[in-house]
Amino acid sequence: MEQQEIIVNNETALHNIQRLTDNIETVIKGKRNQIKFVLTALLAKGHILMEDNPGTGKTIMARTLAQSISGISNGSVNFKRIQFTPDLLPMDLLGSHIFDDVKKDFIFKRGPLFCNVLLADEINRASPKVQSALLECMAENQITMGETTYKLENLFFTIATQNPIEMEGTYPLPAAQLDRFFIKIKFGYVDEETELGIYKDYIEINNNLNNIQQVLDISEVLYLQQQSENVFLHEEIIKAVRNIIWATRKQQDILLGASTRSGITFIKCLKAYALVNGRTYVIEDDLLDLALPVLHHRLIFRNKEAEAKTLGAIVNIEMERLSKLKLN
Amino acid sequence: MKIEKLHSPKIISAQLLLLCIPAVVIAAYLLWHINQYFTVLNNQWLLQTIYFSLGLFTGCIFYNFRFRFLTTFLPLLLVLYLISGIINKTITAEFSAFYASAQFYIFSFLFIIGIIAGWGFARFRYFPMLLCVSMLLIQIIIVSKTTEITAQKLIIAFVPVLFFAFYIVYTAELIRNMNKDEPGFAWFIGKRLTGFTILSSIILFLLISFYSNDFKAIEKEFGGSAKQEKNDNSESLTKENRDGTVSNKKEMGLSGGHTSSKRLVFIAKLDNYFPNTESPNPLYFTYDYYTKFDTLTQTLETDSTMPSNDLFQPDPSKIPLYFTETDSSVLRKAKGLIARKVATTEVYKVLLSPKEFLAPSTAFFCQPISIDKEYQQQFKSAYRAKMYVSDLNSAYFVYNPAGNATLENFQQTRFEALRKISNWNSEDSNFINYYTFIPHGESFDSIRSLAQLITKNAATPIDKIIAIRDYFFSKDENGQPLFKYTDNPGIPGLPSANKLTFFLFENRRGYCAYFAGATLFLLRALGIPSRVSTGFLTVDRADKNKGWYWFYEDQAHAWVQVFFPGYGWLDFDTTIPNTEQQQSPAPDGTPPITVQSAFFVANGKVISIDTGSKRMQMLVTKMIYHDKTFELKQPVKINMDVSLATVNKDTGAVPLSTITAGMEVTSLSFSEQFKNIVPLESDSANDILAKIPKPIPIDEIRIADTEKEKQQMKPQAKAKEPFSILHILWIFLSIIGSILLTLFLLPWLIYRYFRYKATHTTVVRTKAYYGYTSAMYFLNQLGYARKNSSPLAFARDIVDTNFKTDFSAFVQVYLKSKYSNEQLKPWEEKIILLFYPTFEQAVKNKILFKDRISKFLNIYRTINYFNTPKI
């Protein structure tokens, strides 16, 4: 009986994810993989960092996601967007105590962080001070101002975007902060065919953007987050994750290997990704698909060449092992 | 930074495997060679090789660990020196002390050489080159010790060393230059070496097979001799068989040297006397006739198609004892009618092969006979032969019969009789044309003019023959003999020059084949039908036992036979006596005069034999009783008492226990009991068998060499055969060929294995696994490797788009079966069960059969498939 229920639940969950993906895809064309990664980060209770040039649809992605989820009070969930600039202060993010003339007291004016979906645009343009202010919120889901600790929303999902590091006026994110982002992806351009479609249908897409349907309740998202933890993870996959993590530490071309926390994050993401892909178990493909988005930004490589190749090679060895593996 | 290791197990094992082991092999070869020349080594080359390899492996491993050479090598020398001192002191007995210390010196020497070689391989880059140089030097020294150099010997001596030289330099450099950390170290080296081996063996093979003729020409230049025999009498007219017996050779080359030893080959009793005298008339024993001359190889050849072939060549070992083989057709073909009679000879073989048949011409009858017990140790087998001999034939032609009235008379009557013959008009022109044929060419023209010059005063053919003989005996202007007999006449400067003209006009020295060959063409140039005959020269040295002749190896001979109408073929020997060579030793021992006659001979198969009670049962098919032969249509079982029987084979006496049921044997009885039981004319075999007492006492049993036994002998004989380089190369090439074939077939075999598993497994999960593996391997081999994409993405994006298959659906189910904790649903199981055949067909439809073959031949893909990728 109980087994039956879980399967039913799983099927609704899978169906919900499908709906969410399809909904976002009405606006973000030809980015199915990126959508999946975003949803993976969402379901893994993590955050995502997207790196690319301006104008590739990062912001729209975040907005569409936020608007697809209905909040408690009928409207869509709280979506905030902060444009990071060099002169941005932590206060501008967290909020500040201001004097209330009526109450004759300092009251806490909540900053934009008190939301469900936060779009931190061009995060690497802000000073390290601001970046680190994000740390606690992203990790602990709470803000500490002076003596008071303010809880953030249950569903708090950050989509950060950053310009490529080489661009002027950027501060590279500190390793600790990067670690907070479960997944870092390059948004990338769409293929020629899709781009043509976008140009043709841009009015319709714009319409869609303005009339995004709310397909999921926030509680359903929370339920999905909970469900992702129940995804079955085969022992060999866990072993493969361990092997990959260890290999990054042993490899001479990697100066800083992956931490244990990275491993845990990896596993969380694997489970969420399986769910996003409509499965209740993790397979080899998930490992290969996720290894780079999850691990690459956590490692420090010896040189450019190593950065381009090493992690892929490590994962490949593990893939080769798994693909020949005969499980009974 | 990685710290460079002091030594790498890979490098060490590569050195041990690829440098040291070949070095040991070549050292064994050299030591084996050296042992043949230095008696102090006691011919223990195997042990010495072990000494050397001990040193070599120790040295190679030890010095790979970066020990200093001098500081370790000098103490070793010291230790060895001390031990040798101790040995010298402790062992008191003089001889054993010498032996032990000599042994120890050999050990120390080889061990030290081994250590140095090991050190060289491990540490010294140029060592392999030094090694090659020293090995070549050793080989040159060994070869210089060789008295008789032949191309075969040179090739055998130098090819392995040269091959090793190339190999070791190449391999040592290869190992040195290899990056030991590179993945696929062994594979890379293996690849290179296989390529190297194939290439060099092909080159060697082609070289040797294309230039073998030139090699042979060169070896003649060296003054050695040409033939393949290991034995020293390589250019004698006899050849040594594998079992040590001697046979006449089937070809007769004209080459540089002719050596022969003086071993006794056979003895014979010949019942041939000068007409109306008691004086024995020896006749040459003929083996074969040479009627053709191959101008290319300068060889006289036999020709089974010669007109009126009167050659009788039975195999005495195939005829059961006392049974006979007769060919009366040779009597007609011998064409001699005048002054002919039947003579008998008994040949007792010593070294002569049991298979050989030799008799004065023209033989027509052969009967193997038993040898008296007393002589069975001395003679292996014997036969009696009957010949149709001419009264005019005799061994006396060259050897001056002066002083012997009988012989002089004989010569005169013979010449007188033959002088009546002046032409061959009465003979068949075909026959005459064949036996007077001379090849065209300048050199043969010069022979023709010489013949005319020599015989200008001779009127009749016999006078011409005498003139030719006298020409060979003539003296030059200085009073020196014009021609000389020598076993080593040397050869003309140009390898292909006509040796006969060289002999006749320039060198004027040679052995019997030269004289016979030259005489043949001189005679044929004059239109006298003639042929060369080989066999044994008969020398009458006996005073005591008249009619008995001893034949030694150096009596192997060649001479000419001339055809005289009415008289047939007569022997004429123009070879001048060898003045330098002393005669063979006088006949020793006594001939086996006591010839027994068997009263009862039975030939057939053994049914049973009891060595305890000495009884034998035989199924007799043929029998002889009192010289009367009976063919038994219905084989008869006969009980025999073999308690007194001696058992013989062609090779000599053997114990009774050799006989087993089923053997083909001939049983003889000399028993006096049978003497008085004389058969009647009308008696049949069964009548006789009823008369004679049983069990029949048997005195001698001869085992026939059955075909089956021969086949069993064959592999052994092959093993004993001296290896020729071509032989080794063939083996080598076939091994390489089979390895290559396996390599080429390997991908297909692997695929078939996976496919079998995929189609024949019933457990769904296993079936899914093998289906996936098989499909992936198949695709990999066809050039669609998964590479860096994930299984599902590969299936979806590459396989399904290319082949229009449902591979991704299958992969999904497979991965679910692999990683999920859920049970497969029935429709999912169905996908797995139905997947493979349709998938394979879809892929096959897309890729042509020939493409598939060429792709499946690619072993690299298989290796890549099984190789774990490296970073």
A234 touches chain B (CB under 8 A): yes
Per-residue confidence (pLDDT) for residue B365, from 0 to 100: 87
Return residues 133-172 of B near A (CB < 8 Å): none
Measured at the CA of B267, the angle between CA B261 and CA B273, to 5 degrees, comes to 125
Rounded CA separation B84/B73 (Å) = 17
Q: What is the mean pLDDT of residues B336-343?
A: 80
Instruction: Check: CB of residue A81 under 8 Å from CB of residue A121.
Output: yes
Of the candidates B575, B548, B569, the one whose C-alpha atom is nearest the C-alpha of residue B333 is B569
Q: Which residues of B touch A317 (CB under 8 A)?
A: 868-871
Q: Could you identify the residue written with the tokens 């070992």?
A: B317
A4 touching B, CB under 8 A?
no
Task: Tell me if residue B220 falls in helix, strand or coil.
Answer: helix
Question: What integer is the mean pLDDT of B790-808?
Answer: 89
Q: Which candidate from B789, B816, B871 shows the least CB-CB separation from A281?
A: B816
Partners of residue B779 in chain A, C-beta under 8 Å? none
Q: What local confidence, expressed as pLDDT, does residue A238 receive?
A: 94
Higher pLDDT pick, B728 / A37: A37
| Residue B367 neighbours by CB distance under 10 Å | 21
| Residue B95, pLDDT score | 61
CA distance B760 to chain A (A): 17
Q: What secondary structure, in 3-state letters, does B455-484 show? A: CCCCCCHHHHHHHHHHHHHCECCCCCECCE
- The residue-averaged pLDDT of B555-571 equals 86
Q: How far is CA B365 from the centre of its chain?
A: 31
Query: CA-CA distance, B828 to B812, in Å (whole number)?
Result: 9
What are the angstrom distances between the C-alpha of B722 and each of B230, B231, B832, B871? 8, 11, 62, 53
| CA dihedral sign of residues B702, B706, B709, B715 | positive
Tokens for B47, please give them: 């042990």
> What secondary structure letter does DSSP report for B367?
E
Provide the pLDDT for residue B753: 92
Cβ A237–B819 below 8 Å, yes or no? yes
Q: Is the dihedral of CA A248, A251, A257, A261 positive or negative?
A: positive
Give B 18-47 residues with CB within 8 A of chain A: none
What is the reported pLDDT for B6? 55
User: Considering chain B, what is the average pLDDT of its residues?
Assistant: 78
Interface residue B792 vs chain A (CB under 8 A): yes
- For domain A231-328, is the CATH number 1.10.8.80? yes
Q: Give pLDDT, residue B211.
A: 72
Both tokens of B573, joined, read 């020997």
CATH architecture of the domain with range A2-229: 3-Layer(aba) Sandwich (3.40)
State yes or no: pLDDT of A149 exceeds 70: yes
Lowest model confidence (mean pLDDT) among A61-70, B269-278, B730-739: B269-278
Residue A70, φ and ψ in degrees, nearest 5: -85, 140
Q: Predicted confidence band at A41 (pLDDT cuts at 50, 70, 90)? A: very high
Give the range among B396-405, B776-785, B848-857 with minimum mean pLDDT.
B396-405
Q: Which residues of A touch B776 (CB under 8 A)?
A: 323
Per-residue pLDDT at A5: 47
* Parallel/antiparallel/unpaired status of strands B325-326 and B264-270: unpaired
Q: How confident is the model at residue B234 (pLDDT cuts 50, 70, 90)?
A: very low
| Selected residue of A241, A299, A316 to mutate for chain B interface (largest B Cβ count, 10 A) | A316
| Structure confidence at residue A2 (pLDDT) | 43
B interface test, pick of A32, A236, A277, A284 with most B CB neighbours within 10 Å: A284
Number of Cβ within a 10 Å radius of residue B625? 23
Provide mean pLDDT across the span B245-250: 57
Q: Is the dihedral of CA B163, B169, B174, B180 positive or negative?
A: positive
Band (pLDDT 50/70/90 cuts) for residue B1 is: very low
At residue A293, the pLDDT reads 92
Domain residue ranges of chain A, discontinuous segments joined by +:
2-229, 231-328
Count of A-B CB contacts under 8 Å: 70
Q: How confident is the model at residue A264 (pLDDT cuts 50, 70, 90)?
A: very high
Chain B partners of A280 at a C-beta cutoff of 8 Å? 820, 822
Residues of chain A with C-beta less than 8 angstroms from the C-beta of B870: 313, 317
Q: Is the pLDDT of residue B223 over 70?
A: no
For residue B73, what pLDDT is reported?
87
Residue B763 touches chain A, beta carbons under 8 Å: no
- Quick: pLDDT tens for A275-319: 998 888 999 899 999 999 999 998 989 988 888 889 999 999 999
Distance (Å) of CA B548 to CA B553, B556, B582, B844 = 17, 17, 21, 85
Quote the CA–CA distance of A125 and A164 in Å, as a whole number: 11
Please indicate if any CB of chain A lies within 8 Å of the CB of B202.
no
> Which tokens belong to B111?
């061990």
Q: Which residues contact A23 (CB under 8 A, 6 or more apart)?
A: A64, A68, A212, A213, A215
Is the pLDDT at B253 greater than 60? The verdict is no
Q: Do A232 and B821 touch (CB under 8 A)?
A: yes
pLDDT at residue B763, as a whole number: 86
Do B650 and B705 contact (CB within 8 A), yes or no?
yes
Query: Mind listing the pLDDT tens digit for each residue in B730-776?
Result: 888 888 888 888 888 888 899 999 999 888 888 888 888 999 999 99
Six-digit token string for A156: 């708090």
Q: Of A201-205, B481-485, B500-504, B597-601, which one has max mean pLDDT? A: A201-205
The residue with greater pLDDT, B179 or A106, is A106
Q: Does B706 score more than 50 pLDDT?
A: yes
Q: Write out the DSSP string of A203-255.
A: HHHHHHHHT----EEHHHHHHHHHHHTTSB--HHHHHHHHHHHHHHHH-TTEE
Q: Are A47 and A62 in contact (CB under 8 A)?
A: no
Contact at CB, B818 and A320, closer than 8 angstroms: no
Q: Over pLDDT 70: what percentage of chain B?
A: 83
User: For residue B769, which residues of chain A lie inside 8 Å, CB to CB?
Assistant: 326-327
CA atoms within a 13 Å half-sphere pointing along the CA-CB vector of B220: 25
Query: How far apart are the C-alpha atoms of A118 and B690, rounded to whole Å?
Result: 128
A201 touches chain B (CB under 8 A): no
Contact B118, B58 (CB under 8 A): yes
- The sign of the dihedral angle between the CA atoms of B803, B830, A283, A64 is positive
Peptide bond into B362 cis (omega under 30): yes
User: Of the spans B275-279, B390-394, B734-738, which averages the highest pLDDT?
Assistant: B734-738
**A312 in B contact zone (CB under 8 Å):** yes
Query: At B640, which helix (H) or strand (E)?
Result: strand B628-641
The residue ranking higher by pLDDT, B459 or B400, is B459
Q: What is the pLDDT of residue B235?
A: 45
Question: Which is more confident, A133 or B706?
Answer: A133
Instruction: Quote the CA–CA distance of B697 and B645 in Å, as a whole number.
Output: 8
Average pLDDT over residues B595-600: 72
> Could you give the percent of chain B with pLDDT greater than 90?
1
Q: Report chain A residues whose CB lies below 8 A from the CB of B773.
A: 324
Residue B673, CB-side half-sphere exposure with 13 Å CA sphere: 12
Q: What is the end-to-end Cα distance of chain A in Å, rounded?
A: 28
Residue B224 scores a pLDDT above 60: no
Shortest distance between the Cα of B816 and any Cα of chain A, in A, equals: 8
Residue type, B163: F
Q: Write the ipTM.
A: 0.87
Residue type, B838: T
Most confident of A192-196, B98-102, B620-624, B707-711: A192-196
Per CB-CB distance under 8 Å, the chain A contacts of B815 are 283-285
Q: Report the candidate in B750, B748, B788, B775 with the shortest Cα–Cα distance to residue B831.
A: B775
The pLDDT, as a whole number, for residue B317 is: 80
Quick check: B633 pLDDT over 50? yes
C-alpha count within 13 angstroms, C-beta hemisphere, residue A219: 3
pTM: 0.50
Of B765, B790, B820, which is closest to A285 when you measure between CB atoms? Answer: B790
Answer whether residue B679 shows pLDDT above 50.
Answer: yes
CA distances from B565 to B422, B427, B461, B481 (A): 10, 7, 11, 34
Nearest C-alpha neighbor of B318 from the set B285, B366, B351, B364: B366
The residue that leads in pLDDT, B238 or B53, is B53
Q: Do the beta carbons of residue A232 and residue A280 sit within 8 Å?
A: yes
- Nearest chain A residue to B817 by CA distance is A327
Position of tokens 């006396």? B396
Band of the pLDDT at B380, cuts 50, 70, 90?
confident
pLDDT digits (tens, 9 = 90+) for B157-193: 777 888 888 888 888 888 877 766 666 677 777 777 8
The minimum CA-CA distance between B41 and chain A, rounded to whole Å, is 58
Q: How far is CA A286 from CA A16, A43, A180, A266, B437, in A?
A: 20, 15, 21, 10, 94
Say how far apart CA A271 and CA B594 lie, in whole Å. 109
